[in-house]
Amino acid sequence: MKSMALRRLSTRLAIKQTITFALLVVILAWSAYALLTRRIYSQLDDELQDRAISVRSMLQIRAGSVKWLNAEADPEVRAQFERSMRYYELLDDEGHTLDISHAMAALHLPASSAEPSSDHSVWQSVTAGNTRIRILDVPVLGLAGQHYLLRVGTSLDQTDEDCWRLRMFLFALIPFIILAHAVNALITTSYSMRRLEQAAAAAKQITAFDLSTRLPVSGAGDEIDELSTSLNAMISRLQSSFQRMTEFLRTLSHEIRQPLTVLRSETEQALRLGNNETNYRDTLSKQLEHVELLARTVSDLMELAQSESEQIKLNREKEDLSELVQTAVDGMRGQAGERGIQISGTVQQNVIGAFDAGQIWRLLLNLLDNAIKFNHRGGSVDVALSVHNDVAIISISDTGSGVAPDEQVHIFERGYRSSSARKSHVPGTGLGLHFARSIAEAHGGHIEVASSSGKGSCFRVSLPLLNASSLGESLTPTMQRDAPIN
């Protein structure tokens, strides 16, 4: 059914193109015919005027008598004169014929509208029997000052026949051109529709579970190829997104299933064996940790969904970045102390700029949380804040497991976890660094990492210090969170 519909569509397109082309060809042919016939008749009038001049040069009028001087002329002028004398007549100022050729006398032409005393020549076409004659009436002045009218004509039969042949040629050529265009249009549209049919068939094979199929590209470089190339690029991006999403959901499924299994096991064990308040408290404390992990995982999932749909603009205000960094360091001292990790900070004071305090706070907590979680007991975390060329630089260094060089280009990707993070058995979803980079870029800055496996990492965040006048400018959107992301 779809193939028949495409054929009908190609036929309709070919018919529309042919009709438009036919109208254009008819208009052009009519214009060409009009210009050519006008040119042909104009050349005939020029030739007739030359004949009149030739006749006038051989004519001598004295006392009403006509004398021809053609015998004294050179052969070329005499030949031109003889050709011009077939249709010839000479009239005096009263309209009486003084001299006339036999062919002209046989035509019995009507009187001329030209005045012998006038200075203007008159052209006219007359029909006598089956013959059309083109007549030129030229006023002539005699030797004694008398006025005469010289009439010179030529037959239009050959000219009319030439015009008729031209008309017949165009009438025969136009249908052939239109038919050839119609066939070409039908072939072209059918070929284009066939390519669209192939693209539609390929598109049917593309599903959310199989994005490996691509639309065909013929290599012609036309609009259909450009459209297929653009759609193939879009499908490739979707395929990459689905692959990343599948990997992330697979990891997320494991992260959710594990604490749920532990919660169920500990709950069943507490119900079977719990006989005092201390056992119940220990069990509930462990279960609370797993609930917090689940809550964080769900929060990450909601954050991911929000990043795919909604975008919230930053709420920039005049903030003291020094105070934000120092508060974050002080707030993480307790968590670092529980793991036997020393955290210190070198913070330059009065670093004022236009920031979204909530987003900066989440960025700092994400980086500090990672620096503590992936560190070893007895390790350290160093935080520094300084300003260089109106750019605030926050560096967070740790003595943890570090990141392999080949993985450093991927650690900011959504859902990516390095091999050292997976081996550490520290729960997480691989979203923390992704959102940290998003927050930094939303503020017009960037984040970079320098790390070595087993020797720790240093994350360096650069944030431009915008003044108060920059608060009204358009800001890059980012996502909101309320807790560090792992």
Domain with CATH 3.30.450 in the chain: 2-162
Can you tell me whether residue 81 is helix, strand or coil? Answer: helix
pLDDT the model gives residue 398: 92
Domain made up of 317-472: CATH architecture: 2-Layer Sandwich (3.30)
Q: Which residues contact 425 (CB under 8 A, 6 or more apart)?
A: none
Give start-end residues of each CATH 3.30.565.10 domain in the chain: 317-472
Tell me the two tokens of residue 363. Answer: 């960025």
Which one-letter amino acid corresponds to residue 14? A
Q: Where in the chain is the domain with CATH 1.10.287.130?
A: 223-309
Instruction: Give burial (CB, 10 Å; 0-12/13-18/19+) of 72.
Output: exposed
Would you say 251 and 429 are in contact if contact means Cβ atoms under 8 Å apart?
A: yes
Identify the burial level of 265 via C-beta atoms within 10 angstroms of its C-beta, where 0-12 means exposed, 13-18 middle and 19 or more buried: exposed
pLDDT, residue 337, reads: 87
Residue 29 CB: number of other CB atoms within 10 A? Answer: 17
The answer, as to whether pTM is greater than 0.75, is no
CB-based contacts of 100-109 (< 8 A; 24+ apart in sequence): 104/151, 104/153, 107/131, 107/133, 109/133, 109/135, 109/151
Provide the pLDDT for residue 483: 37
pLDDT of amino acid 301? 60
340: left (phi over 0), alpha (psi -120 to 50) or beta: left
pLDDT score, position 39: 92
Distance CA 158, CA 152 (A): 17
First to last CA, the chain: 54
Q: For the CA atoms of 156, 162, 164, 165, what is the dihedral angle to 10 degrees?
A: 160
CB of 66 closer than 8 Å to CB of 115: no
pLDDT of residue 6: 67
Query: How confident is the model at residue 352, as a pLDDT?
Result: 92
**Per-residue model confidence (pLDDT) at position 419:** 67
Give the pLDDT confidence score for residue 70 in this predicted structure: 65
- Beta-bridged to residue 131, according to DSSP, are 128
The rounded average pLDDT for each run of 10 residues, N- to C-terminus, in the chain (486 residues) is 68 87 92 92 89 80 71 68 79 83 82 71 83 87 79 89 91 91 85 76 76 79 80 84 71 64 69 64 68 66 52 75 90 86 90 88 87 88 92 93 83 74 64 83 90 87 75 41 38
Rounded to whole angstroms, the Cα distance separating 312 from 306 reads 9
Q: Please name the fold of domain 2-162.
A: Beta-Lactamase (3.30.450)
**Can you give the pLDDT at residue 452?**
82
Rounded Cα–Cα distance for residues 425 and 486 (Å): 12
17/246 Cα distance (integer angstroms) = 49
Q: What gap in Å lies between CA 404 and CA 454, rounded to an integer? A: 9
Tell me how far apart the alpha carbons of residues 253 and 247 are, in angstroms, rounded to a whole number: 10
CATH 1.10.287.130 correct for 223-309: yes
Q: Provide the pLDDT for residue 36.
A: 92
- The reported pLDDT for the residue numbered 473 is 45
Residue 322 has a CB neighbour count (10 Å cut-off) of 17
